Every structure is written in C-alpha cells, then in structure tokens.
Amino acid sequence: MKKVIYTKKAPAAVGPYSQAVEANGMLFISGQIAIDPETGTIVEGGIREQTLQVMANIGAILDEAGYYFSDVVKSTCLLSDISNFAAMNEIYGRHYIQNPPARAAFAVKDLPLGALVEIETIAVKKI
C-alpha cells in the first residue's frame, strides 16, 4: 500500500508530485533542492549552504516518516556544475559517517529555480 508523506518542515512540492511516498517499508523522497520551507525561496549562498538546506529538507522528511539517515540505501545527487562536487560531497558526507548509502552523482544542464544541487533519496526501514 502506498502512503504519501508530507511535512511543513520541508518545502511543499512545486509540481504534481509528493515530498515522499512510502511503500512496503521503503521511503522514496523526491528530489530536494535548497528551498527554505519557511520562505519558499532558495537559500542564499553557494553550494555549501544549498547542500546544508537540501540535507535538512531530507532529514525533515525522513523524520516525518519515522526513518533516519542510517536507513538511507540510495541517493542520487544532481549538480548544476560538477566543479561543485567536492564541496557538496563534504556536506553530504557529514550525514553518512558509517555505512554510507549507494550513490550516483551527475552534472546536469539546469535544475529547478536555478538550484545548484538536487538530491533524491531512498530509505528502507530496519526490521
């Protein structure tokens, strides 16, 4: 059975999708960009500030659904410029000290609202 997850502590969807969907003990978090949920705008600053906000948004959704960063099994990171990879990776890595998830990272032409980074996440509940 599919359950839609929503929290006011992460930005509302900017299109016809859900923040996250849980199905069969798995949580699929839509790509998160650096929107501050309080203002509805992209946070000021560079890749570090944006990655911090993206990870905060992911954390808020994980929390709402009863998951933890340690439950994350796969991430996909999209960067508007691959030269931002090292800085994004440093912030991202703070959330996955032990047993980090599988991951792919790509440079793409553009991201929504001019974002520098977008990260989608899959988590699985521990039994």
User: Residues 22, 5: contact at Cβ < 8 Å?
Assistant: yes
The whole-number pLDDT of residue 126 equals 78
The single residue listed with the structure tokens 């340690």 is: 70
Question: Domain range for residue 114?
Answer: 2-124
Whether the model clears a pTM of 0.85, i.e. scores above it, the answer is yes
- Residue range 103-113: mean pLDDT, rounded: 95
- Per-residue pLDDT of 24-37, as tens digits, reads 999 999 999 999 99
**pLDDT at residue 127 above 80?**
no
The single residue listed with the structure tokens 């705008």 is: 41
The whole-number pLDDT of residue 39 equals 95
- Per-residue pLDDT of 68-93, as tens digits, reads 999 999 999 999 999 999 999 999 99
> What is the number of structural domains in the chain?
1
Which residues, 6+ apart, have CB-to-CB distance to 119 below 8 Å? 31, 32, 54, 55, 58, 75, 76, 77, 78, 92
Where residue 113 sits, what CATH number does that domain have? 3.30.1330.40
Tell me how far apart the alpha carbons of residues 22 and 122 are, in angstroms, rounded to a whole number: 10
